[in-house]
Amino acid sequence: MRKYARSLAAIAAISALAISGCGRDAGSEAEGEGGFEEGAAIGVALPQKTSENWVLAEGLFNDGLTEAGYDPDVQFANGGVSEQQNQISSMITNGVEVLIVGAIDGAQLGTQLAQAKEAGITVIAYDRLLTNTEDVDYYVAYDNFQVGELQGQALLDGMAERGEGPYNIELFAGSPDDANAQVFFDGAMSILEPEIESGNVVVASGQTEFNQAVTQGWEAGNAQTRMDTLLTGTYGSEDLDGVLSPNDTLARAILTSVQASGKELPIVTGQDSEVESVRSIMAGEQYSTINKDTRALVSHAIEMVQGLGAGEELEINDPDSYDNGVKVVPAYLLEPQIVTMDNAAEAYENDPTLSEIVNE
């Protein structure tokens, strides 16, 4: 069981109920019953377009659901949480059979998800866990705790390649309204904390807590401003050896800040395999990213829809780790992959765009 669920071990005994009790109208699809006809409407509520993977997901859901014989309604909520709430309400009114939700803020959709359950709609949390609600049936994502672990280890490995410690590092986290941000951070800190305690790694600013490291809205400008402040306040004469960055967009902002300061570029982690960050890795700037193939994640989400449509019991490979504060949500997790310059060609060999970049 993951670190973020261990403190709630007392409710692990009800995980089987969480699986058997979810589904349309107190449990049809989730138990392998029910189903719906070809041509059914499927709602996909996506957050703001803050990274390339979300933009890619839009086209993949539209094309994949259409090819599978469904009527997709895919919408972005670039206007914020209230817009996403309205979009989900509209999808419910329009009679979707399944609602796939990539939430802006997974804790702010309780009213809409209750409406979905009342209407007999199966709810799948996509990439980001929906929290503080009973009205979510499944979670499909990459193993986000493992993402953090890979990032933490990559940071240590990259710094070790340059020489022996102790190393000065800084910590960045994602947006506090994204449930994944804490999970990424916890995974990374499970690797870094022993090194910090031993004195081999030093967070020179002293900002070691998640709430000190967060980046509101996953906005690059917020990360760059914070990095500017850290460099000015802490690294006048000190070297900065590494920065834990939770994704590629923030990694590039952090590197831009360091470049402007005139300091040597530190080891910087990332996530999402964004085109510009892959180029940066191949240029020896950003050290690492995480390969979480959006095509595979969308494909599995669509497979889940097909299984529900056929009235099949869905495959779950993590039934008890994802406590959303109210229930344990049955999850299917895909495995992330760390990518550095050394393995980029192999990691992206089946990606036509990124394979071209790494072989330039």
Q: Are 263 and 243 in contact (CB under 8 A)?
A: no
**Per CATH, domain 3-136+293-335 is 3.40.50.2300:** yes
pLDDT at 105 over 60: yes
State the CB neighbour count (10 A cutoff) for residue 97.
23
**Per CATH, domain 144-291+339-358 is 3.40.50.11260:** no
Any idea which residue has 């669920």 for tokens? 5
Q: For position 33, what pLDDT does the model report?
A: 52
Q: What are 272-317's pLDDT values in tens digits?
A: 999 999 999 999 999 999 999 999 999 999 999 999 999 999 999 9
The Cα-based distances of 212 to 46, 65, 248 in angstroms read: 27, 41, 20
Burial 107-121 (b: 16+ CB within 10 A, else e): bbbbebbebbbebeb
Question: Phi first, then psi: what are they for 72, rounded to 5°?
Answer: -80, 145
Q: For position 53, what pLDDT does the model report?
A: 86
Nearest to 123 by CA among 94, 92, 82: 92
Q: For position 301, what pLDDT does the model report?
A: 98
Let me know if the fold of 3-136+293-335 is the same as that of 144-291+339-358.
yes
Half-sphere exposure of 150 (CA within 13 A, CB side): 23
- Range 26-41 average pLDDT: 66
- 164: which 2 tokens? 């022996």
Domain boundaries, the chain: 3-136+293-335, 144-291+339-358
pLDDT, the chain, mean: 90
Q: How confident is the model at residue 21 (pLDDT cuts 50, 70, 90)?
A: very low
Q: Are 247 and 51 in contact (CB under 8 A)?
A: yes
pLDDT at 71 over 80: yes
Q: What angle do CA 276, 280, 282 make, to 5 degrees?
A: 120
Q: What are 177-232's pLDDT values in tens digits?
A: 998 999 999 999 999 999 999 999 999 999 999 999 999 999 999 999 999 999 99
Beta-sheet strands, E only, within 120-269: 122-126, 138-142, 167-171, 201-203, 242-244, 267-268
- Report percent pLDDT > 70 for the chain: 91
| DSSP, res 318 | B
The Cα-based distances of 3 to 8, 9, 148, 171, 186 in angstroms read: 10, 10, 12, 19, 8
